[in-house]
Amino acid sequence: SAEVIATPSDPAPSAPWKAPRSARAVTNSDGSFVLFADPGTFDIAVVPAAGSGFPVFVSTSRGIQPKGEGNELELSVPAPIRISYKIHDFNENVVRRAIVRAFALRGGTVPVEIGRAMTDAAGQFEMFLLP
């Protein structure tokens, strides 16, 4: 299963009281989900279960219409690429139990987290990202 998170695409609208609220859902065993959200434009993130080997998938600027107006979304998460590195500090000591995060820029300016991992006792981490 995976968590589906809908975040409004415009983080600072000119009329905040009209902005849609964030919404969350969890996928069923077949990958389907039902998301109850206000009408508006959202960035939809699919966050897979930890250890699944699937990357975080983000689809930006997806419109959600009022109920009953064709809100079928089909999101396909492509096969990931694997990256693996060993983290050292300036003195060449391994960095243990550090959280490593990867970001992509939406629209060239807004950072969106696309991956997260933790280094092990040897300073090594493995992360799966979209190609």
Asked if the model's pLDDT at residue 99 lies above 90, the reply is yes
Instruction: Tell me the whole-structure pTM to 2 decimals.
Output: 0.68
Q: Identify the pLDDT of residue 120.
A: 96
Is the Cβ–Cβ distance between 128 and 55 less than 8 Å? yes
Q: Who's near 22: CB < 8 A, 6+ residues apart?
A: 5, 6, 7, 8
- Predicted confidence band at 63 (pLDDT cuts at 50, 70, 90)? confident
Q: Identify the pLDDT of residue 79.
A: 80
Is the Cβ–Cβ distance between 88 and 94 less than 8 Å? yes
Is the Cβ–Cβ distance between 8 and 60 less than 8 Å? no
Q: Identify the pLDDT of residue 12.
A: 63
| pLDDT (tens digit per residue) in 19-47 | 788 999 999 988 888 888 888 888 898 88
| pLDDT (tens digit per residue) in 66-91 | 776 666 777 777 788 899 999 999 99
Asked if the model's pLDDT at residue 13 lies above 70, the reply is no
Is the Cβ–Cβ distance between 44 and 64 less than 8 Å? no
